[in-house]
């Protein structure tokens, strides 16, 4: 669904955590369900190939997804889980040539996707100098999570993702506190807040805690989001035109893809400007 982005992170630790659709067996187009809505033109159950999936596992309407009513596809990001399952877990054998593997492959993909998302956050945290006091614990968590992603399909199916997420989240919270503490003064706390449609044009949100906030269709034109914690923020249709997101933490490509923006918005180096931002 998303093409591989250029890796621009300083250490390159997140290179393998970016989607490489050419090395994947179209797993997001088969394993995942979607319902007819503003994001998807039709209904599709889990395990059934999308009608736009080609024989070579490419998308037949990739360049026209938004025009064809599949904007949800342009938002999704597997964090590189698709190619890991395809090339590592199943050793390059696809579900079409080995139909007996299909069910297990599709079941394992969402597990891998969640683990890769955690790896993305952990790798980012290790790039932050302010988080140095917890770098040792972050590295240990990253190594353990990475080890889980390299297990067999049977082992992956048994992973307690909720428990792994809970342990990692404690470290990410501490990372957030350390990073945001570098911003002087009192910081805004909008964790989990309902800010749907909020008028935040030009708002000073430096160092803010916005974890899990709902910013759907919010006006954030020209807002200063430097060093803000944006993990889990719902940016669907939020306007980020001219906003400064440099130095924000735990922002993902999928969040940007769900938002609106323009060429003047400032983004973290590891992320790409979405094609639909005109």
pLDDT confidence of 38, banded at 50, 70, 90?
Answer: confident
Say yes or no to pLDDT of 178 above 80: yes
**Model pLDDT, residue 6:** 32
Q: State the average pLDDT for the chain.
A: 93
Say yes or no to pLDDT of 3 above 70: no
**Separation between Cα atoms, residue 108 and residue 41, nearest integer Å:** 26
Q: What is the pTM of this model?
A: 0.92
Domains and CATH numbers, the chain: 15-180 (no CATH), 187-278 (2.160.20.80)
User: How much is the average pLDDT of 249-271?
Assistant: 96
């Amino acid at each position: 669904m998303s093409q591989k982005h250029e890796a621009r992170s300083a250490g390159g630790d997140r290179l393998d955590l970016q989607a490489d659709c050419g090395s994947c067996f179209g797993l997001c187009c088969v394993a995942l369900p979607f319902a007819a809505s503003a994001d998807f033109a039709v209904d599709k159950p889990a395990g059934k190939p999308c009608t736009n999936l080609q024989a070579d596992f490419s998308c037949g309407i990739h360049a026209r997804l938004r025009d064809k009513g599949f904007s949800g596809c342009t938002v999704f990001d597997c964090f590189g889980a698709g190619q890991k399952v395809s090339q590592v877990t199943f050793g390059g054998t696809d579900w079409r040539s080995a139909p007996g593997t299909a069910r297990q492959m599709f079941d394992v993909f969402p597990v891998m996707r969640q683990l890769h998302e955690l790896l993305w956050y952990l790798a980012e945290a290790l790039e932050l100098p302010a988080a140095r006091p917890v770098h040792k614990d972050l590295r240990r968590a990253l190594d353990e999570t990475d080890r889980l992603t390299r297990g067999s399909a049977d082992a992956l199916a048994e992973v307690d993702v909720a428990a792994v997420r809970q342990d990692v989240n404690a470290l990410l919270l501490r990372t957030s506190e350390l990073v945001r503490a570098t911003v002087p003064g009192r910081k805004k706390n909008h964790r989990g807040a309902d800010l749907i449609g909020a008028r935040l044009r030009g708002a000073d949100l430096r160092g803010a805690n916005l974890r899990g906030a709902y910013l759907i269709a919010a006006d954030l034109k020209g807002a200063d989001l430097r060093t803000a914690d944006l993990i889990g923020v719902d940016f669907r249709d939020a306007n980020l035109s001219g906003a400064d997101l440099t130095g924000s933490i735990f922002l993902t490509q999928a969040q940007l893809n769900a938002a609106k923006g323009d060429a003047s918005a400032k983004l973290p180096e590891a992320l790409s400007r979405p094609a639909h931002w005109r």
